[in-house]
Chain A
């Protein structure tokens, strides 16, 4: 296998590499399907998994349209001769494009005299308090004007609508799953890829480069996060978007400084001293880090951090869950890349002189993605479970945020309210089961033994 030959056909070789990696781009031949097509086919054969996926779609649908399903404002209404769309209007006001008309500021939407109106499925927000109906069950007689105002799943001890809480809770549950697993996947894939691809022998550096990188890392940490610690902690108190912005600025500073030091290290390569190459045992270092994180009891850690945070917020809970659950993903990625890195197509890519970053992202990682996907599916289930546990025992999630867990915990005080125990618990159960089933389905679909 002449390497020179490969050099001469760079483009063609690249295609070959991608095919060898079993990437999405499939052969033109009809017999050889790409890996993902096979996975999809296998997954579709699993009826239970497919149905689980459909249930997730329904949850996503509910979460996206929560404002239209449960809201104190009508979706559309004709009021004093004009037609309004208050729910849409609220989005505009939140975005800062528009302002409420005078007549709608501080009004009780329920009591306005509409000519006609279209109400959401349940005309309440989770926070709305109905003094006339506290702790009423779905089948109890409710003190309401018409069935329009019925509390379909009852109310809690304060008179808040359970159905509305369930709908808006869906949004929080799904968000917790997605955001925390997104964070976990980023960290996990990053560390896993480095540990797996470089192993203990491949990451070679000059001593000068290594020293420069270590100094650069400390400096970048100092200017990116150390100096800005007050800006960051102040913004947590403000809002999530402020915090996110500050965090982005911090990461940008961090990256810029690291890049500057990279340029310095390149310049230093011309110098004659400190040229000896050392091997950085990336795998040992990262495996040790994973071991440390894994050996900390997760629930204990999350509860201690959540209790320490000055201003509890659901986003902080998501971040903590993400920051503590990346180890599973990192382990899978590492194991897959350790396997892949010695395969011929990676060697070929190396021989072609591609940059390592490109090899890792474009050639090695796509192959490692399948176990990561499985791990994410299970991870979402456990993240939702952790969040509902936290709100059930009342740690970390602010009291005014209504989640499935907090609804369920309300049933402990209110011993007659069976509806507070059944509905939220069932919702948690279904969501967790469905994500677990999808994880199972993916595992089966990707198991090479089943592939014919």
Chain B
């Protein structure tokens, strides 16, 4: 048994590795620049060159601090146009565009030269003093440059460059300062255009980056228990997730316990009474409950029982607003009162599911020969059902417990959102909308681990309940 558990725990490692890769892939493809998200609160505005430079420096520093200037993974397997030094370029939007340009033009060195000459030209433009004469032309040029940064279409690039040239030479002062860098830029552009080819994109290329990469950095910190900080409010992810996990756990555990308490006797009853009209009623009712979408039930409960526009029996929002100084029991009952409706929504579905399973298991067992034997030797019906049949039909129910647990956590997702309960579901959804990926990562990894552990616990319990199952035989 011990050997079996160790073996299963070892299997966790590749599984968790695969899941971490998946979440990592999701996050790097996510739209939005995490560094910008993080800086948004304190840095803003553009215009003067000094401010622009300072902003860029903060961006670069922050990016370095977060490790986003590292390569993504241990190696990259791409086509030959893929820029191997791309991760050094700040701004995610620029990076994405440059990668695309490299693909379109086929030679990263040329594209890189183009990009750097464009930056040099932009810096030059930003040093030109803004006054009545220059301001409108400068603005046009700056806008055009920012278009060039995020555009890979050759026709559009061509026309934008023509516009820049027009504005540049129209104004003497701008021409005097900017022309040299402009010609450098134009040279780089023509060079890039001249050597445009599409053969490179069909040549595979493998680059080895080593341990200094974003994935390694993240997973290593994760293994050591450092989940990073939230991009949004800079709180540690661990404290945010554990706060939320607390509420999700309370909801799931309570709902599972309640569901079992009702479901088991009901399932047994309906199996024993098979064929009676009461049994048919229960089975149909359970089936309907099982198919009821819980967000619909929640919406209806809020509408008709809630305090907003229904008859006002139950609160429908949050967990109550008593201050932390209020007596413990007052707060306890206040919170409990707020949890009635969400708990109901969470419970009814799993309760219907469990009792249906219980009924099925019980029906199977009741058909067995040893039950007939037990009846034949004159045991009381009660003893037959509860002592002989019930114990054996518990097996599938016990395994259900472990698999229901992670289900309950993600099942509370929608309910938490509807009732505004600060649990994992609400946290994750808000994190997704705010592009706060450290939180999404951590939640995904945690729920995956819970699921794995749940499955393991189920299997171990299974063997415990049913002595016929032995893992040592299973090679």
Contacts and interface: CB of A to CB of B under 8 A. Distances in A.
Interface in B1-53: 11, 14-15, 18-19, 22-23, 26, 29-31
B428 A222 contact: no
Contacts of B202: 223, 227
A371 B261 CA distance: 31
Interface string B328-360: 000000000000000000000000000000000
B300 interface: yes
A203 to B, nearest CB: 18
B94 to A, nearest CB: 17
A185 interface: no
Interface string A274-314: 00000000000000100110111111110111011010000
Interface string A377-396: 00001000100110011010
Contacts of A437: 287
Interface in B184-212: 201-202, 204
Contacts of A307: 432-433
A178 interface: no
B78 interface: yes
A433 B291 contact: yes
B287 A436 contact: yes
B428 A300 contact: yes
B455 interface: yes
Nearest to B356: A440
A337 interface: no
B429 A303 contact: yes
Contacts of A425: 293, 296, 299-300
Contacts of B447: 296-297, 300
A294 B455 CA distance: 10
Contacts of B299: 408, 411-412, 421, 425
Contacts of B293: 385, 388-389, 425, 428-429, 432
B271 to A, nearest CB: 15
A303 B23 CA distance: 12
Interface residues of A, number: 47
Interface string A414-452: 011010011001001100110011001000000000000
B79 A226 contact: yes
Contacts of B256: none
Interface string A132-172: 00000000000000000000000000000000000000000
Nearest to B450: A297
Given A291-B15, A308-B29, A389-B293, A300 B443 contact: yes
Contact of B30 (A291, A308, A422, A428): A308
A116 interface: no
From DSSP, what is the main secondary structure of chain A's interface residues?
helix
A230 interface: yes
A101 to B, nearest CB: 35
B417 interface: yes
B290 interface: yes
A42 to B, nearest CB: 17
Given A308-B30, A310-B31, A392-B414, A295 B303 contact: no
A294 B291 contact: no
A288 B18 CA distance: 10
Contact of A393 (B79, B409, B429, B443): B429
A298 B300 contact: no
B74 interface: no
B410 interface: yes
Contact of B444 (A297, A381, A421): A297
Contacts of B409: 297
Contacts of B309: 415-416
B291 A299 contact: no
Nearest to B17: A292
Interface in B159-184: none
B291 A429 contact: yes
B115 interface: no
A304 B451 contact: no
Contacts of A422: 300
Given A227-B201, A415-B308, A304 B292 contact: no
A46 to B, nearest CB: 13
Given A292-B19, A429-B291, A227 B444 contact: no
Given A222-B204, A292-B15, A310-B31, A305 B300 contact: no
A436 B353 CA distance: 12
Contacts of A433: 287-288, 291
A295 B15 contact: yes
Nearest to B15: A292
B79 A222 contact: yes
27 contacts: A218-B77, A222-B204, A230-B100, A291-B15, A295-B19, A295-B452, A295-B455, A297-B451, A300-B410, A301-B22, A303-B429, A303-B432, A304-B26, A304-B428, A304-B432, A305-B26, A385-B293, A389-B293, A393-B417, A395-B432, A422-B300, A425-B300, A428-B293, A429-B296, A432-B291, A436-B287, A436-B290
Interface of B: 11, 14-15, 18-19, 22-23, 26, 29-31, 77-79, 100, 103, 201-202, 204, 287-288, 290-293, 295-296, 299-300, 303, 308-309, 406, 409-411, 413-414, 417-418, 428-429, 432-433, 440, 443-444, 447-448, 451-452, 455
CB-based closest 7 A-B pairs: A425-B296, A433-B291, A297-B447, A307-B432, A295-B451, A297-B410, A292-B18
Given A219-B204, A429-B296, 10 more contacts: A218-B77, A292-B19, A294-B451, A295-B15, A296-B444, A297-B406, A301-B22, A381-B291, A412-B418, A436-B290
